[in-house]
Amino acid sequence: MNFSSIENDFAQFHIKDGVMFFTYKPDIEIDLDGAKRIVADRLKLQGEATYPVVCDIRGLKGVNKAARDYLANEGSEKVKVVALIVASPGLKIMTDFYLMVNKPTVPTKIFTSEDQAIKYIASL
């Protein structure tokens, strides 16, 4: 089993069985500098490989417009597909807005559990 990980002030990332798992820390707000740090650390962890991503955003408090724009475009580098995990109705609304307005450059869907997200990634 392939397993490696990294952590920064915003999130924890690990690669397991060919999938990048990404979990935001609780009550995190992301600005453009934070978004750039997150993407740089993710790319450092994955090297030249491209991965599907399961991204747990349940702890996320907010993301400003510049950060959303960056994550939707440059943030999709070396990513095949993204499965976002949300919990609260408010976070789902915020995430729907992100998908509609920022239009990520890779297929991105919203789920309410890690199991659903993993099944989606495995079905591709």
* Segment 55-110, tens digit of pLDDT: 999 989 999 999 999 998 988 999 999 999 999 888 889 899 888 988 888 999 99
pTM (2 decimals)?
A: 0.89
Which string of DSSP letters, residue by residue, matches the chain?
Answer: --EEEEE-SSEEEEEETTEEEEEEPTTEEE-HHHHHHHHHHHHHHHTT--EEEEEE-TTEEEE-HHHHHHHHTGGGTTEEEEEEE--SHHHHHHHHHHHHHH--SS-EEEESSHHHHHHHHHH-
